[in-house]
Every structure is written in structure tokens, then in C-alpha cells.
Amino acid sequence: MASTPQRRIGLTGGIASGKSSVGRLLAARGLPVLDADVYAREALAPRSPGAQAVLDRYGTLDRTALGRIVFADGAERRWLEQLVHPLVRARFATELEGLAAAPVVVLMIPLLFEAGLEALCSEVWLVDCEDTQQLARLMARNGFNEADARARLTAQWPLARKRGLADVVIDNRGGPQQLEQAVERALQACA
């Protein structure tokens, strides 16, 4: 009997688009969710080689201070991404190996397209909303002023660019109930 290929849902979207909310809904349905943001934080955990490299370069591990540096200077952002992305990829490989028998795995990767990680996935789901919603959510969630929020938004591809690359677009322009229904429809459509 041949084994069925693993279904790997690449879950992406822009910052503050609702990826984490969709990830929680999928996890509540029993799907394993691997989160690139969690792995990126682990890559810079105190006393790790990644943290030491950041300390050597910037003198701090404070996320707010680092954010001000890397979102104001594209070269610094690229340096940090070149440090963190390989560590995140390695962690994904390890976790996927451990989940080889799982029929479905969700890979929550905010920079899926930007980092060229589509090949890890059998399908890509984009969590979508209006640009104005993204900005408002980011400012409310993180306490950023508009300039800081816009700097973070412009560091990623706009959602409009990602829409045409996704297999499934999950509309997160409404409330929690509408989002839950959109996730359920996506699961049924791709089953």
C-alpha cells in the first residue's frame, strides 16, 4: 500500500493580517502548527550562538531596539535575516522529520514568499485583509506609532503581491466568526 503524501499547508500573510488567529483555529482542529516566528525567537534566545552574533553586532538583544535598527536600515535587516533564516529552516526540517507520519502539517511562515520557502509546502494559504486594517491592527497590538508600523509593513511584500501566488486566500476583513467560517471553508475545499 502506497503512502499518501503529506499535506503541508504554508500559512502566510502580512504582519497583523491574522496568521496567528488562523494558526490557532487550525491547531484547535488538531493540526500540528509549526511557527517560524517562534523558531526565530528561539534562534536569538539568550546564550545562543545567534544571540551572541546579535550582541556582537548591536550590543543588545532588546527586540524594540533591534526593531528600530533593522526596520530603519535594509542592510541591517538583511544581515539579521541571513543569520536567522537558516536557523529557522533547520528547525523546520527537524520538526517535519518528527511529524513525517502526520497527514497534514501547517507551516506558519510570515515571510514565506520573501524567503523563497514555497517548496516546503504542498499548498499556500494567505490570510488577507485591507491595508488599513493591517496598519490599525499593528498599531493597536504593538503600540507602534504610524511611522514605526509603516516601516514594518513596507519591510514585507504587500498582501496584494501575495494574493496571486496563494492557492487559498482566507478573508480576514470581518470578525472572529467570519474568520472561523473562512478557515472551515478552506479546509473543506482543499480536503
Summarize pLDDT for 160-191 with one digit per residue, the tens: 999 999 999 999 999 999 999 999 999 887 66
Q: What is the average per-residue pLDDT within 70-97?
A: 94
Q: 150-153, long-range: CB within 8 Å, 24+ apart, which pairs?
A: 151/71, 151/72, 152/15, 152/67, 152/71, 153/14, 153/15
Question: How does pLDDT run across 32-78, given as a tens digit for each residue?
Answer: 999 999 999 999 999 999 999 999 999 999 988 999 899 999 999 99
Bridging pattern class, strands 7-13 and 104-108: parallel
- How many angstroms separate the CA atoms of 149 and 145, rounded? 6
User: Whole-model pTM?
Assistant: 0.91
Q: Angle CA(60)–CA(61)–CA(62) in degrees, nearest 5?
A: 95
- Asked whether residue 81 carries a pLDDT value surpassing 60, the answer given is yes
C-alpha span between 39 and 37 (Å, rounded): 5
- Distance separating alpha carbons of residues 42 and 51, to the nearest angstrom: 9
The domains found in the chain, sorted by start residue, are 7-190 (3.40.50.300)
What's the rounded Cα separation, in Å, for the pair 133 and 115?
A: 24
DSSP at 59: S
Question: What amino acid is encoded at 170 in this protein?
Answer: I
| HSE-up of residue 165 (Cα within 13 Å, Cβ side) | 21
Which residues sit opposite 8 in a β-bridge? Answer: 105
Strand-by-strand arrangement of the 104-108 sheet: 33-35, 104-108, 7-13, 123-128, 168-171
Cell numbers found for residue 132? 488599513
At residue 12, φ and ψ (nearest 5 deg) are -140, 180
